[in-house]
Amino acid sequence: MPLLRPVREGLRHTFIFQRRVHHGGRRAGHRPLHAGRGHHGGAGADGRGAEPGARRAVRRSRHAPGRRGLSSVVDAWGIPVVRIHLTPRENEIAMLRDMADAAAEMLEAAGGRDIRQTHGRGGVAHELGGARMGVDPKRAVLTPFQRLHDIANVYVLDGSGFPSSAWQNPTLTLMSLAVRSCDHLLDQWKKGEA
What pLDDT sits at residue 95?
76
* Residue 35: how many other CB atoms lie within 10 Å: 15
* Residue 31: how many other CB atoms lie within 10 Å: 10
Mean pLDDT of the 35-55 span: 54
Does this model's pTM top 0.75? My answer is no
Rounded CA separation 78/42 (Å) = 42
Mean pLDDT of the chain: 74
The radius of gyration of the chain from alpha carbons, rounded to an integer in Å, stands at 22
What pLDDT sits at residue 43?
54
